[in-house]
Chain A
Amino acid sequence: MSTPASLIESSPVQGNWPDWFHNDQKTAWDLFHTLPAPARTDEPWRFANLKATDLTPFHAAGSVRDVASLVSRSTGGGVLSAKLVFGNDVLLHAESAGLPAGVLLLPLDQAARDHAELIRAHFMTAEPRLGSRKFAALHRAKLRTGAFVFVPKGVTVEKPIEIWHWVEGENATILPHTLIVLEEGASATVIDRFASSVDEPSLAIAVNDLTLGQGAKLTYSGVQEWSDKTTAFHINATEVANDATSTALQMNLGGGYVRGESDSHLLGEGSRSVMLSINPATGDREIDQRTFQDHYAPRATSDLLYHNALSDTSRTIFAGLIKVEEKAHETDAYQKVRNLMLSDEAEANSMPGLEILADNVRCTHGATSGELNEDELFYMMARGIPPKQAAQLIVRGFLGSVLARLEHTELQSHLGEILDRKLGI
């Protein structure tokens, strides 16, 4: 078998897209080549390990070896409304326990053919603003499919929809895409699962776009368990209309270099965006997260809580910005990042930012870095819990406390179990 062509040199793949989509892909391909690579002096890349953003080793993914095995490994927990399983950007499996009328759960290419207006109106419409414009352009240019979730006006999808994205093959690239559109008053819970089939280096450039109509309610969780050698980009844009509430959680349990960009646009009065992240950083992992809470409308709320537990030689970067635009009076915005240092070799960088252009606002942010609490450790040891286990429990409690912000108790316990497994509890 000949060596596959490098990702950045090969021509755009010919997915099964309509012509208008192909044209957009060509534009994106040109943009990818025009935009400069991240440089040391770029503020959005401050503290980042730029070597990790070199894409030259990677090539397009082939097809997966064992479809049945990947599908059988795609089991989360609890009762689902529906499930999609993608392996190397090919839909391997779809199942549904019956979705309410009008709800769409489709591969993105099919949606582009059958529901062109919806896709045109919502597919990657927000310009990536947190540094990864170049990588988002590559994602668009090379995209083969993805998941499209559409919930019409007033409809509630009771049980979670789960979407799996597998990567397989040494230096293979996948481009997971999840587009969720909730119309006025709609509500849904979606879980994105990302994983490597085997322990090998790979590249994932993932995009999730969440669009909430007036009064809509979305709970989104991205659970990432890439191999430790994976370079992963997770680029998000969330648009929240009047009185809608978005709750989005990123759990980074794997990966080598993981870049997360979460961009919340609070577009309507009374809109609310809750941004959460749980990051047990182990080994030499680097978790590089950039966030934006952009308040365009008055009386909106945003609330960010990121917990990092750093062991070994791991690094974390958190750069978050709360921006209150000129007309967004009576904004209530909150941002908190906490770093728990578990090793002398670990490094936590925090850049919590505020830009306030309106008055009569309440905005606070906080960043803390500390170590395990000696009193808590002592207390548990005094009750016969060995020190190592006691430390584990404290870390579990620290990371798990973020889950308490999710309203779904079932989802909380499901994600809690995944976290337990990761921490070996």
Chain B
Amino acid sequence: MSTETQHDLDIDRSVGDFSYDVEYAYDAGVGLTEATIDYISDVKGDPDWVRAFRKEGYRKFLEKPMPTNWATKDLDNIVFENIRYYLAQGQQPKRSWDEVPDEVKETFERLGIPEQERKFLAGVEAQFDSEAAYSNIKAAVGEQGVIFVGSTEGLKEHPEIFKKWFGKVIPSGDNKFSALNSAVFSGGSFIYVPPGVKVKHPLQAYFRINAQNFGQFERTLIIADEGAEVMYMEGCTAPKFETSTLHSAVVELVALKGAKIQYVTVQNWSSNVFNLVTKRGIAHEDAEIKWIDCNIGSRLTMKYPGVVMKGNGARGEVVSIALAGDGQHQDTGAKMIHAADNTTSNIISKSISLGTGRSTYRGMVHVPKHLKGCKNNTECDALLINSSSRTDTYPAITVRGQGNAVQHEASVSQISAEQIFYMQQRGLSEGAAMSLAVNGFVNDLVQQFPMEYSVELKRLIDLEMEGSVG
């Protein structure tokens, strides 16, 4: 099989390629100054401590350098002065479907959130631009005492719950982009699951960007109290724009004693989006945090979900799939910080690079002094489709002291010509054979996604592989 036959992979993203004129009720203008932050705080009616938090974030954002000493120089192409930092459809998250404007409904229709799925799922928190445009919490979840609200509402209505952890898992000065998010955040979900409550249905939110040069800075905080269990799903697709957009979210998870949190992401931003996300969770005694992450879209994604295993017997896991098509760079990975005895972590990452796409794995595993019985397992597999594709692996592993076991393995391979030949012999086209082989490569990970996501994921991979041959 000649590799040259596949060099002109074109990614068909036209499915998400639409936008509607929307009249934005609030617009903070272009660029970022202290006045922008005051404006956002005024519009949102922030309590004083939130305003102070934003300003502190802004100060740190200015202070912090771009991480270009280790990250891609493409970051320098972000022009912070050209970005809109706040834009909202309305002030209050919409509660009932009837209240949602028709145009917005049409957008959701095109996004493919079927009515049945909405009924099937426990709650839908659909974000339209930076403010939640539609929020539906099923009665059953509410009755269990679960709080599922937007970040603005959470900080205003439930400060006693959220203030304790807000900005504690990821301090605003963690990095330049978490500082930026702290300054201008809006939207995102705040979830609290009371002790012992196991949320049966996944909580779900769809995010969407729908304005030119518009950055989205949502902030999500999920707290699972002792023995609670919750799964949260986040998926995004965005229309194509002329100029680059910036998406810089902060997601904090807190799993108290014996709690379990699963956070599922399918990221399919359009190929002009910079997606620079900070995600981290704290797992207390016997708690478990699992990040299931799939990155298909965006121009550049930098995202390294982390788990700080703070309590004895805590567990962290990252399952990651990345697909980098022409012109895309998926710079993803995981951070596992072992901070107590008998903590275990597992990282499984699979990436596919096609055309001129580049996928990068960056990992950090840290086992500090005097800990016993800590285990980490890391596996990274990369698949290269074309001769112009690129893949990198940069793990950093620190182990102090004995009594712990850490192992890291990575491999790079390609679809074997024999496999393709075999399938073509049996009547499959070369494209179909490639698609099947790629799906086979990630199949064991795809199965870890909730059913409706794994279906969507397979469809997305097929879509990406379409036209990859000939």
Contact = CB atoms under 8 A, between A and B. Distances in A.
Partners in one complex: yes
Quick one: which of B390, B395, B399, B409 has the most chain A CB within 10 A? B399
Given A346-B401, A367-B395, A371-B403, A352 B3 contact: no
A368 B408 contact: yes
A349 B395 CA distance: 10
Given A43-B70, A329-B387, 9 more contacts: A42-B69, A345-B369, A346-B400, A347-B398, A351-B394, A362-B411, A366-B409, A367-B408, A368-B405
Given A359-B3, A364-B410, A343 B393 contact: no
B146 interface: no
Interface of B: 3, 69-70, 367, 369-370, 382, 384-387, 389-414
Contacts of A339: 399
Main secondary structure of the interface of B (DSSP, over half): strand
A356 B399 contact: no
15 contacts: A43-B69, A47-B396, A341-B399, A342-B402, A344-B401, A352-B408, A354-B391, A354-B393, A361-B412, A365-B410, A370-B405, A370-B406, A370-B407, A371-B402, A371-B405
Given A341-B402, A344-B369, A361-B414, A352 B407 contact: no
Contacts of B387: 326, 329, 358-360
Contacts, number: 136
B402 A344 contact: yes
Contact of B410 (A42, A342, A347, A354): A354
Contacts of A353: 392-395
Quick one: which of A42, A352, A362 has the most chain B CB within 10 A? A352
B3 A347 contact: no
A357 interface: yes
A42 B398 CA distance: 18
A360 B405 CA distance: 33
The 6 lowest CB-CB distance pairs between A and B, nearest first, are A344-B401, A354-B393, A369-B399, A341-B402, A371-B402, A364-B411
Nearest to A311: B402
A405 B412 CA distance: 24
A50 B369 CA distance: 21
Interface in A38-61: 41-43, 46-47
Quick one: which of B70, B395, B401, B414 has the most chain A CB within 10 A? B401
B391 A341 contact: no
Given A349-B397, A353-B395, A361-B384, A368 B410 contact: no
A249 interface: no
B397 A344 contact: no
A359 B404 CA distance: 36
Interface of A: 41-43, 46-47, 326, 329, 339, 341-372
Given A344-B370, A368-B407, A363 B394 contact: no
A357 B390 CA distance: 5
Contacts of A41: 69
B339 to A, nearest CB: 16
A114 to B, nearest CB: 45
A43 to B, nearest CB: 5
Contacts of A329: 387
B407 A366 contact: yes
Nearest to A359: B384
Given A354-B412, A367-B408, A359 B399 contact: no
Nearest to B410: A365
Contacts of A349: 396-399
Contacts of B411: 362-364
Quick one: which of B404, B410, B414 has the most chain A CB within 10 A? B410
A214 B5 CA distance: 34
A349 B3 CA distance: 38
Given A43-B69, A365-B393, A352 B410 contact: yes
Contacts of A326: 387
Contact of A363 (B70, B399, B412): B412
B397 A367 contact: yes
Nearest to B386: A359
A221 B387 CA distance: 37
Given A363-B412, A369-B404, A356 B398 contact: no
A128 B404 CA distance: 36
B356 to A, nearest CB: 11
A351 B384 contact: no
A355 B395 CA distance: 12
Contacts of B407: 366-370
Contacts of A361: 384, 412-414
Quick one: which of B69, B396, B414 has the most chain A CB within 10 A? B396
A354 B390 CA distance: 10
A339 B402 CA distance: 10
